[in-house]
Each structure stands twice: as C-alpha cells, then as structure tokens.
Amino acid sequence: MKNTHKPLIIGNWKMNPATITLAKKLFAEIKTGLGRKRLAVDVAVAPPFPYLSDINKMSAGKYALAAQDVFFAESGAHTGEVSLSMLKSVGVSAVIVGHSERRAQGESDHELYQDLLAVFKSKVTAVVCVGESTRDANGNFFSVVEAQLRSALRAVPKTKLNQLVIAYEPVWAIGTGKHATAEDVLEMKLFIQKILTDHVGRTRAARVRIVYGGSVKPKNAEVLLTEGGVDGFLIGGASLKAKDFVSVIKTAHQHVTTAV
C-alpha cells in the first residue's frame, strides 16, 4: 500500500539511558548508522528532558527533537513541570501528548486537552497517543479509542491539522513484544481516519499522519508499513538500540523509495 505521507519515525527513549554520556553515545551511534544519505523519512528522537539540549546540538537540525510530555501553563508555581516555551528554546519541534504511561500516572483527558491547546498555539507538532488497554472480542476497544480521540480533537484548530500526528498505541502491545497485526493496525487506521473526517472533513483529515507504536522491531516494521498502511512509528524499546532503530528507519526509507 502506498502511503501519501512522508513516514515519521519517532524514538521515544522514555526514562533512558541512565546518563548524559550514554545518551550522547546512543545518539552518535544512530547518526553514524544513518550516514549522510538523504532520507525519504522524517526522524525524531524524544530523549528525557535533561538531555534535550545536548542532543539538539548534536543533531544540528538534521533530526527533529521531540519532548515526551509538556505542561500547559506558560510559567509559574508548577514544581516539576516543563513548559512549551522552555522546550522550544532547546530545539524541540514536536511533543508527545497523552502517552499511556503518562495516562497511567493520572494524566486525565482534560489535562491532555489543556496541553494540546498550548501546543496548537505554537508551531510545535503534537503526537497524540491513543489506544486501548485490552482488545475485547466485541470490539469495545474502538469506542475507547474514539473517546480519547474526540476529546483530544476538541483542542485542535481545523486549520492546524498538519501539526497533528496520531499515534495508535494499544497499551497491551507496549513493551510486551506483542505487536498488533498489520490487519488490526489497518482497521484502526481507517477507523481513526473516519473520526477525523467526521470532525474536519476529508481533505483536512488527510493531512494527519497516523503512526503505530507497540513493540515495533526491525522484523515487523515492513509488514506494518506495507499491510498496516501506517505513516510511521513511535518506537520505545527498539529506539534504545541504535542498530534496531536505524534498521526500522531504513526499512521505512526503502518502503517509500520502492513503492509504486
């Protein structure tokens, strides 16, 4: 299946690696692995906050820098939080919003909505994570995803759809080694597109990239792209191994350059 979007591959490092030295080493290995060839793929990494500035310098604008979270307020008495302007000032151009690991820490749909309002006031891209915890035979998981998506969409201006990426991340697939099948991913992608179309119309809906996350590895990347029809990946575990991350990126590059 030929995708109309340039694929986007995001490495979500989560709370890894343990030191800035190791973070720089990982990023240097990724850079070396990707080489100088121009890629037909957008690549982003989302390191922990304390590493953003150094990774930004090493990236020198070649790869996008994403943050793993943001807090909606601009400044003030919010101990432990990080604002959008802080993130932008260290080179961040995309923010992951509503990751299931944040939701599990108590982040509500309302907070997420507020965070998104802040993101859409800027030129930063929002990577909104949606996904069910369990997959039931009756298909109730579709309504879980629908509710998360509709709640998030309330904060998205219709004119800024190209700043939105939806990451379908079934919670049961995250870090478990069990990925959703290409068939299930395609079905969910079409479902998400339908909700987007309901909300903003077909043309605008088509601007949104829909990526998949949940145990993406070099061995399943190709089938998820070709048969799952996704516009890229949000990768956790495999993004911490330079060789694996680079391999997925190269698979996506190949997918675009050889697709007819």
The residue ranges that bind ligand PGA (CB under 6 A) are 12, 169, 174-175, 213-216, 234-238
Could you say which of 99, 179, 253, 255 is catalytic? Answer: 99
Active site residue 99: yes
* Shortest spacing between CB 223 and ligand PGA, in angstroms: 16
Shortest gap between Cβ of 73 and ligand PGA (angstroms)? 25
Rounded to a whole number of angstroms, the distance between the first and last alpha carbons of the chain is: 9
Nearer to ligand PGA, 169 or 231 (CB): 169
Burial bucket for residue 202 (CB in 10 Å: 0-12, 13-18, 19+): exposed
Nearest to ligand PGA of 205, 236 (CB atom): 236
- How far apart CA 73 and CA 4 sit, in angstroms, is 35
Catalytic residue (one of 169, 179, 253, 255): 169
Query: How many other C-beta atoms can be found within 10 angstroms of the C-beta atom of residue 77?
Result: 6
Helix, strand, coil in percent for the chain, rounding step 5: 50, 15, 35
- CA proximity to 188, closest of 206, 166, 161: 166
Q: What's the CA gap between 116 and 211, in Å, rounded?
A: 18
Name which of 47 and 213 has its Cβ closer to ligand PGA: 213
Pick the closer one to ligand PGA by CB: 104 or 259: 104
Amino acid at 15: M
- Identity (one letter) of the amino acid at 146? E
State the Cα–Cα distance between residues 72 and 86, nearest whole angstrom.
11
Tokens of 106: 């108590």
Q: Which is nearer to ligand PGA, 23 or 46 (CB)?
A: 46
Task: Please list the residues that pair with 129 across neighbouring strands.
Answer: 167
Nearest approach, Cβ of 234 to ligand PGA (angstroms)?
Answer: 4
**Tokens, residue 4:** 């109309």
Strands (E), 153-200: 164-168
Q: Residue 89 CB, nearest distance to ligand PGA (Å)? A: 25
Active-site residue list: 99, 169
